[in-house]
């Protein structure tokens, strides 16, 4: 098991373009989370999946953001019409159900120019 894998690690895009990030969780984990982290701040919760069902979306997640987890395996986070304010580290985490630890990936750093 190689842990939570995120791709790409870095993405530079022009304002207005669409971007998609991928997260591969630990294989037996049924919970998957997306967080966003800006410089000097702790990670902020964006959304959560239990298996393939998206059970909560933060108000931080505007209509330009969409996440999917087909078949309860990997997940994708898409940002449409990117803005400079979207520049951040996007972190994915996975866990088993219950009060157990979450395992985070190394993140995808997005820079919108």
Partner 1 sequence: DAKTTQPNSMESNEEEPVHLPCNHSTISGTDYIHWYRQLPSQGPEYVIHGLTSNVNNRMASLAIAEDRKSSTLILHRATLRDAAVYYCILTSGTYKYIFGTGTRLKVLA
Q: Interface with partner 1 by CB under 8 A: which residues? A: 4, 31, 33, 35, 40-45, 48, 50, 55-56, 91, 93, 95, 98-99, 101-107
Q: CB of 15 within 8 A of CB of 41?
A: no
Rounded to a whole number of angstroms, the minimum distance from the CB of residue 105 to partner 1 is 5
The angle formed by the CA atoms of residues 8, 13 and 18, to the nearest 5 degrees, is 85
Q: In terms of CB distance, is 79 or 92 closer to partner 1?
A: 92
Query: Distance between CA 5 and CA 56 in Å, rounded?
Result: 22
The tally of CA atoms less than 13 A away on the side-chain side of residue 110 is: 29
Rounded to a whole number of angstroms, the minimum distance from the CB of residue 98 to partner 1 is 6
Q: In terms of CB distance, is 52 or 80 closer to partner 1?
A: 52
Query: Distance between CA 29 and CA 9 in Å, rounded?
Result: 22
Q: In terms of CB distance, is 18 or 51 closer to partner 1?
A: 51
Rounded to a whole number of angstroms, the minimum distance from the CB of residue 99 to partner 1 is 4
């Amino acid at each position: 098991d190689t842990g939570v894998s995120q791709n790409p690690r870095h993405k530079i895009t022009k304002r207005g373009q669409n971007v998609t990030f991928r997260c591969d969780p630990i294989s037996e984990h049924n919970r998957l989370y997306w967080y966003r982290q800006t410089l000097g701040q702790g990670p902020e919760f964006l959304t959560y999946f239990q298996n393939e069902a998206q059970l909560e979306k933060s108000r931080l997640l505007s209509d330009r953001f969409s996440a999917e987890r087909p078949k309860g395996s990997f997940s994708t986070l898409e940002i449409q019409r990117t803005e400079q304010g979207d520049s951040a580290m996007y972190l994915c985490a996975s866990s088993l159900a219950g009060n157990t630890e979450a395992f985070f990936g190394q993140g995808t750093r997005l820079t919108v120019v």
